[in-house]
Amino acid sequence: MLEGKTAFVTGGSRGIGRAIAVALAKNGATVIINYCGSFEAAKETEEIIKNNGGMAYLLQGDVASSSDVERMFAWIAENVKRLDILVNNAGITRDNLILKMTDEEYSQVIDTNLKGVFYCLKHASRVMLKQRYGKIINISSISGIHGNPGQVNYSAAKAGVIGMTKTLARELSSRNINVNAIAPGYINTDMTVHLKEEIKAKALETIPLKRFGEGEDIAEAVVFLASDKASYITGQVLSVDGGMGI
Ligand code: NAD
């Protein structure tokens, strides 16, 4: 479905990002896997893709750093030439109730989850506008739609990503570029594994499909939005949350 396409996935070393990178490659795309600090984990993602017969590159860089993002896109321009699919997946949490949340916790989340997305969108837009083709998928969160106690920083960033998605969908639509967001619910990854059992049990009660999601649940939605089967869909937020947000 994605043969001949090139995809850049931020935060592709583990979790949802790994599942997305693997699924895009399984569907024929050449995948550039961005990682920040975890080379070993990123290498594992690359090996999974190569063992499945896919093509992948590793690209180190901190998405919260404007200069790192500039360097990564310069590398893509020089070595891969085109960019058909961008998946803004990298993200962090620094949860705290508002009275306890430090300026640093707030800024770290905004820098990675919102500014990082902006930097990648800016560079990818330049390439995609010239190509007159592109698929951008931003990983937001149910927290950015409904809010979540302890996450003023995270929900602000994820709601911001939804705003960026809609604006950019309008800005880029005339050049055959689709921009959509996915809002995952509760997905089993390193981000959620450390939550207290009582919090997990409470969360499960709110999910009509009665299970937490897996990275692959998000990855399949990304593959669809990255494909030409979704060519008439833009500016949308697709919740992949087991019905949590109904
Ligand atoms: P994770 O912690 O397992 O993975 C996050 C990835 O982002 C890691 O590979 C990490 O190294 C990378 N990353 C973090 N900061 C980075 C930076 N500055 N530069 C480059 N890479 C960086 O978490 P996950 O659950 O796989 O989350 C993936 C995305 O999905 C995030 O945007 C997250 O907010 C979102 N999300 C997750 C859930 C969930 O329940 N797990 C729910 C909603 C949304």
Residue 226, pLDDT score:
98
pTM of the shown model: 0.98
CB 186 within 8 A of CB 214: no
Q: Is 90 exceeded by the pLDDT of residue 138?
A: yes
> Can you name the residues that pair with 180 across neighbouring β-strands?
137
pLDDT level of residue 97 (50, 70, 90 thresholds) = very high
Q: How confident is the model at residue 195 (pLDDT cuts 50, 70, 90)?
A: confident
The pLDDT of 78-99, averaged and rounded, is 97
With beta carbons less than 8 A apart as the criterion, state whether 89 and 22 touch: no
CA 179 to centroid of ligand 1, rounded, Å: 20
Contact of 134 with 178, CB cutoff 8 Å: yes
Average pLDDT over residues 16-29: 98
Asked if 95 and 154 touch (Cβ cutoff 8 Å), the reply is yes
Q: What is the DSSP string of 109-169?
A: HHIIIIIHHHHHHHHHHHHHHHHT-EEEEEE--THHHH--TTBHHHHHHHHHHHHHHHHHH
Residue entry with tokens 């190509």: 131
The set of protein residues with a Cβ atom below 6 angstroms from ligand 1 is 10-11, 13-17, 34-36, 38, 62-64, 89-92, 112, 116, 139, 141, 184, 186-187, 189-192
Mean pLDDT value across residues 200-229: 97
145-188 pLDDT, tens digit each: 999 999 999 999 999 999 999 999 999 999 999 999 999 999 99
Instruction: Give CA–CA dist 228/224, Å, rounded.
Output: 8
Q: Which residue is it, tokens 């995609």?
A: 128
Lowest mean pLDDT among 103-117, 188-202, 231-245: 188-202
% of residues, the chain, pLDDT over 90: 97
Sequence length of the chain is 246
Determine what percent of the chain is predicted with pLDDT higher than 70. Answer: 100
> pLDDT at position 116, please?
98
**CATH number of the domain located at residue range(s) 6-240 in this protein:** 3.40.50.720
Active-site entry in 119, 133, 154, 186:
154
Q: What average pLDDT score do residues 50-61 get?
A: 98
Q: How many angstroms from the chain centroid is the CA of residue 169? A: 16
Q: What is the whole-number distance in angstroms between the Cα of residue 90 and the centre of ligand 1?
A: 5
Q: Read off the pLDDT band of 90 (50, 70, 90).
A: very high
Q: What is the mean pLDDT of residues 62-85?
A: 97
Write out the two tokens for 142. Answer: 């149910």
pLDDT in tens, 210-221: 999 999 999 999
Separation in Å, CA 210 to CA 78, 131, 154, 199: 47, 43, 25, 15
pLDDT at 7: 98
Q: What average pLDDT does the segment 103-116 reach?
A: 98
pLDDT mean across residues, the chain: 97
**Average pLDDT value for residue range 91-100:** 98
Rg of the chain on CA atoms, in Å: 17
